[in-house]
Chains A and B, each alone.
Chain A
């Protein structure tokens, strides 16, 4: 190897190097010329060289030794960050922000605000995109699967006579005729089930299957039935089921991705918080469905107050609101009265 005759016109950086695929440590300096670099050992011999533009300089990471990789695979390490930046250009964009500085207080605040905004708006936007992307057959398959597992766990075949079923079906059909076009894209199906312990109740599955319990069909008036079925149609039309699935999965995924940076305790807090805050969306969905149901019932010629009377007849105790999937009945009644006022 030739000796360097002159280092004139070039500056150098002290450090150490490893030849390609070897752990042999060499004490070297990196001489930087106009468009060429040389690795030179203490005896002034050139170990290796390359064009300046082929050298890969890793970005600065705190005080950790800077890693510079030559095209042949030789690794050069140095603590002399300033000279690296001066000779080889600045590769420290993030490093500048990361330095311990009062500015980091602003970063902490931005994290808190950002996390809130992401949860409130970012996740909502993602959920909408995901709902829009979900193919209809998948949603129908969900309905069948959910109905099958309900039948296994908590419901039995309906014991209603054909006459009662036909009456409810008639209400259902009339409501469906009055659905706005954007709500009518779903495949609405009515199903009857005997569900002891569930009381007068109805359920909507994401694909449009609406389950009415025998108790509801037997005890509720036609106006109340129209309100309740309209409420469930509101859930379907608003994609509430799918939105809740995506929101909980999305929240879980986002928090898991941050978990490496938050640590297990903060992760648990965030996961619990996500769960409790998600309930507020569930309650909001219930109120939306109530309003939707009352309006639909009115358009189909039923008394929109039917749902309100139905709630009055239930006479259920109030519960802790922020831990519930449903709003308290007082809130729901207040919400419905507001619509009636519009009339």
Chain B
């Protein structure tokens, strides 16, 4: 805590919130959101984010979230107006084509705006984060590279992931100090191989158990036509099982390993480095058991599940300061813009430096 000498060689991330406390915040948020026909949900979002940020400590200093409910509400109203306009106008063929083309161009722009807003509204140790990514880089990362990867039959997908993470990490800063990330491609391919092994392995086991009875075309047809033929319904169930047992965990494994790679090769100003030791299997266990507990309690254990995950991630993330943490400085606070924010929500980009 002693200010001038906050110079330790190892500073773990630490989450200090409790499920008991967050439950109250969560349920009151939900009630007020319902009673106000969803309007309060903007303030609820801010309160939830503040709770998680303010309870996350690194080297005894916590994060904070600074957006106001009104900013979030305005952003959402603009998005809703867009959805309504789209729903009404998309019945007209020409308007629909124009709008889809417009949306394709608009998405990277909204994404950059949203990342900038979220960075400016987050702080650690009284210093706001910044985002400097450009529209052009977003276009490359989200359209050009995935397109090129598709030409390689997705064998080059780890390159896309690395480019995305480079774009996100290197565009972020803490005040006037910039983050820096670079890594060899090896760890990304390792993550992909691990995900594929899980996906194929679990599929083989599944098919060995139920394979002979599964008729995917029939299931898809049943899904389309809403047929209530019992056998077809079982097949639809099996598609869900495949999704839950093979695809979701494979994606989780990939993300967990990519997260480790990103943190392990991330520095702040080349001086302070990070370490992440998240275990993909442990994270998967947390996700699966969270899922079951939330279902069995009809959602009431949601706050507990959120907290458990946040605590695990924090406990496996470390900062190695290479110098004093007192020397970060911020520029004059610029006010952000909330338009992209609700859109950012929909996508749920999780690669913020704040756990």
Interface residues of A (CB under 8 A from B): 16, 18, 21-27, 61-65, 67, 75, 94, 97-101, 104, 107-108, 110-111, 114-115, 118, 122, 126, 130, 134, 138, 141-142, 144-146, 148-149, 245, 249, 253-254, 256-258, 260-263, 265-266, 320, 323
Contact = CB atoms under 8 A, between A and B. Distances in A.
A122 B44 CA distance: 20
A21 B84 CA distance: 41
A75 B37 contact: no
A257 B36 CA distance: 12
B30 A111 contact: yes
**Which among A22, A97, A257 has the highest number of chain B CB atoms within 10 Å?**
A257
B126 A22 contact: yes
A197 B23 CA distance: 54
A23 B175 contact: yes
Given A21-B331, A27-B2, A67-B64, A114 B88 contact: no
Contacts of A263: 294, 299, 302, 305-306
B37 A104 contact: no
A142 B91 contact: yes
B87 interface: yes
Nearest to B17: A62
Q: Give 5 nearest A-B pairs by CB, closest first.
A: A98-B24, A18-B126, A145-B92, A145-B91, A25-B3
B347 interface: no
Interface residues of B, number: 77
Given A23-B175, A23-B328, A266-B302, A257 B125 contact: no
Given A138-B89, A145-B96, 16 more contacts: A16-B1, A22-B127, A23-B326, A24-B3, A25-B3, A61-B50, A67-B54, A100-B20, A107-B31, A253-B80, A260-B44, A260-B45, A261-B45, A263-B294, A263-B302, A266-B294
Interface in B17-38: 17-18, 20-31, 33-35, 37-38
**Which among A98, A111, A260, A261 has the highest number of chain B CB atoms within 10 Å?**
A261
Nearest to B294: A265
**Which among B95, B125, B295 has the highest number of chain A CB atoms within 10 Å?**
B125
Contacts, number: 181
A114 B35 CA distance: 6
Contacts of B228: 320, 323
Contacts of A141: 89, 91-92
Interface of B: 1-4, 6, 16-18, 20-31, 33-35, 37-38, 41-42, 44-45, 47-48, 50-51, 54-55, 61-62, 64, 76, 80, 83-84, 87-93, 95-96, 124-127, 175, 226, 228, 291, 294-295, 299-300, 302, 305-306, 325-333, 345-346
Given A111-B31, A245-B87, A21 B3 contact: no
B1 A27 contact: yes
Contacts of A254: 37-38
Given A25-B125, A98-B28, A262 B88 contact: no
Contacts of A261: 26, 29-30, 33, 41, 44-45, 48, 302
A97 B91 contact: no
A241 to B, nearest CB: 10
Contacts of A24: 3-4, 326-327
